[in-house]
Amino acid sequence: MPKKSKKQKKQNELNFTGGDMYVQGEISGLMRLQNKYFNKDTAFTIEERQLLGIHGLLPPVVRSIEDQVELCFMQFLDIDEDLTRYTYMIRLGARNTRLFYKLLAMHGDKCLPYVYTPTVGLACLHAPYVFQLPVVLFITIEDKGHVYNVLKNWPQADVRAICVTDGGRALGFGDLGVHGYPIPKGKVTLYTALGGVRPHYCLPICLDVGCNNPQVREDPLYMGLKRERPSRAEYDEFVDEFMEAVVSRYGPHCLVQFEDIGNADAFRLLTKYRFKYTMFNDDIQGAGVVALAAITAAVNISKSKLEDHRILFQGAGEAALGMANLLFVALKTEGLDDNEARSRIWLRDSKGLVVYDRPPGHLGEYKLMFARKRAAIEKLEDCVREFKPTILIGVSAQYGAFSREVLELMALYNKRPIIFAMSNPSSKAECTAEEAFTYTRGKCLFASGSPSPMLDYAGKKYHITQVNSLYGFPGIVMGATACCISRLPPAIFIVASHTISNLCTDDDYRHWRLLPPLSKLTLCAFEIACNVVEYAYKSKLARRKPHPTDIRAFVKHQMYDLNYEAATKTWLQEYEK
């Protein structure tokens, strides 16, 4: 008697009773429905339901993914509160991954703000109320010595992109400790929604090292360790172990994005790891990518050159220094030497203009590069009078820092002042769009860090550009993971910035857009990914071999398929084993 094939054996395992068909096995139908990567909800056909043992667990209706999306969107619109919309989206993603991302793809303009900024900030402030299992991997400093074992508890073994925070500087709210966990969750969501990185490759992590904000830490509902942050030596040992565990568990090609780490720690870790691991810090490097792209557009609209401009930063933290450093590199590519490029950039922090002549310990080492050799200037308006900047960038999280006097001075000294109030959420912004246009008498080119509605000023309508790192990091992550890049040098971020600015059209400029419209976010990510891959292979930074002959096809092949047919292939392959 001929030996039966595996397929025939599987067929013989199917039992028919009264026309019903079911599969006996270790995995129950309910378990299949609870797998978010596999679940199709009511899109399962009757045949699939019978084959998989889920017949009867769903109502008889069979809907397409497009019909499901419209139903979910109606449910979403029926919700009045922002935080409830956030939890709705999180729960949908935890139940049906493809439907979640299809909803974002079809209605991103309405839904993205409720998985990322600005609502993610609200989620941080109400972290205990929105917590869902399992959305983030929590690793505490008490796990020191066993970090690798904790990583192994994450259900996906093939992780290629990690976003990690310690909550030390959550948006403009300061130290939130473990309650900063919604930030990496939001970031990895955009890896997939905009960049196309397959979601099971992505891992959001919160390192709980304590919290130095007693108001947060002593709250009865605080979910983290009720302790202060450790010494620098203990902190560094813990993060060193974490990075080594990542490489041991997922390989040297796994990209680690640091997010919302406290200023001093963030710069130190970036300096320490940037040539040793595949990593970057989005607050420092990613912010610079999009700011430089928007500045490039503003420079083009004003029909000038970058080297003709003088930039004053209100704020000298991670974002400001990241932007300043990338602008420094960009100015040098325009032909300026180090001193000339540095002379175009001034920083002002909480103590006034950043100058050399400060008491010991009052000038951080990472500000030193842009410190001025002159007398101190305390007030922002006096800095504007002295330096006469053409570009004013706010990243201080100090609401109203761009006063009427400051804005009027910018208009006095410039035909077309460039003003970016980039702190977010909007409650931390240095000024509003209406204030900027009113006090510069409509002369300014303005951008904000949070979404703003269209402004009607003096009979004209102005699109208000949101300078947000979501234009940059999804594409950088997709490109880096696609080619298994070994490290991310500054040139990668210049490549990404130029890609974004090159997507601005003359029509964008006519509508005062300094970045492409949000409808082009996925296009931005794809083009950045392709250019990052191309640069990586040309610079011998790509670990994946051989060099692809068609880079665009190479990137497209690795992008997440939003259609249910891909899920069907997955369970059919499992069934055929």
373/343 Cα distance (integer angstroms): 11
Q: How far is CA 303 from the centre of its chain?
A: 31
Examine residue 546 and say whether the peptide bond preceding it is cis (omega within 30 degrees of 0): yes
Residue-level pLDDT at 106: 95
Is 424 labelled as part of a ligand binding site?
yes
Residue-level pLDDT at 452: 84
Is 325 labelled as part of a ligand binding site?
no
Residue-level pLDDT at 572: 56
Is 283 labelled as part of a ligand binding site?
yes
pTM summary value: 0.89
Is 208 labelled as part of a ligand binding site?
no
211/204 Cα distance (integer angstroms): 19
How far CA 223 is from CA of 178, 218, 235, 524, 557, in Å, comes to 7, 10, 20, 37, 40
Q: Which of 40, 102, 185, 187 is catalytic?
A: 187
With beta carbons less than 8 A apart as the criterion, state whether 177 and 224 touch: yes
With beta carbons less than 8 A apart as the criterion, state whether 152 and 195 touch: no
Q: How do the pLDDT tens digits run along the chain, 577 residues long?
A: 455 455 454 444 443 333 344 444 567 888 888 889 989 999 999 999 998 889 999 999 999 999 999 999 999 999 999 999 999 999 999 999 999 999 999 999 899 999 988 899 899 999 999 997 778 999 999 999 999 999 999 999 999 999 999 999 887 788 999 999 999 999 999 999 999 999 999 999 999 999 999 999 999 999 999 999 999 999 999 999 999 999 999 999 999 999 999 888 999 999 999 999 999 999 899 889 999 999 999 999 999 999 999 999 999 988 899 999 999 999 998 899 999 999 999 999 988 999 988 776 667 778 888 999 888 999 999 999 999 999 999 999 899 999 999 999 999 999 999 999 998 778 889 999 999 999 999 999 999 988 888 899 988 889 999 998 899 999 999 999 999 999 999 999 999 999 999 999 999 998 889 999 988 999 999 999 999 999 999 999 999 999 999 999 999 999 999 998 866 665 555 545 4
152 is catalytic: no
Rounded to 5°, the CA angle 120-125-131 comes to 70
Residue-level pLDDT at 317: 87
Segments in 118-211 forming alpha helices (H): 119-125, 127-130, 147-152, 182-193
43/198 Cα distance (integer angstroms): 21
Residue-level pLDDT at 362: 66
List domains and CATH numbers for the chain: 18-115+546-576 (1.20.1370.30), 135-281 (3.40.50.10380), 286-470 (3.40.50.720)
Residue-level pLDDT at 14: 41
Residue-level pLDDT at 249: 98
76/103 Cα distance (integer angstroms): 10
Q: Which of 22, 88, 101, 116 is catalytic?
A: 116
116 is catalytic: yes
Among candidate residues 167, 138, 156, 139, the one with its CA nearest the CA of residue 260: 167
Q: How far is CA 146 from the centre of its chain?
A: 28
Helix%, strand%, coil% for the chain, nearest 5? 50, 10, 40
Burial of 552 (0-12, 13-18, 19+ CB in 10 A): middle
Rounded to 5°, the CA angle 234-238-243 comes to 145
Is 260 labelled as part of a ligand binding site?
yes
Task: Give the bridge partners for 391, in sequence order.
Answer: 311, 418
Rounded to 5°, the CA angle 37-42-48 comes to 75
Among candidate residues 483, 427, 492, 529, the one with its CA nearest the CA of residue 288: 492
With beta carbons less than 8 A apart as the criterion, state whether 111 and 89 touch: yes
Residue-level pLDDT at 567: 64
Is 468 labelled as part of a ligand binding site?
yes
Residue-level pLDDT at 150: 98
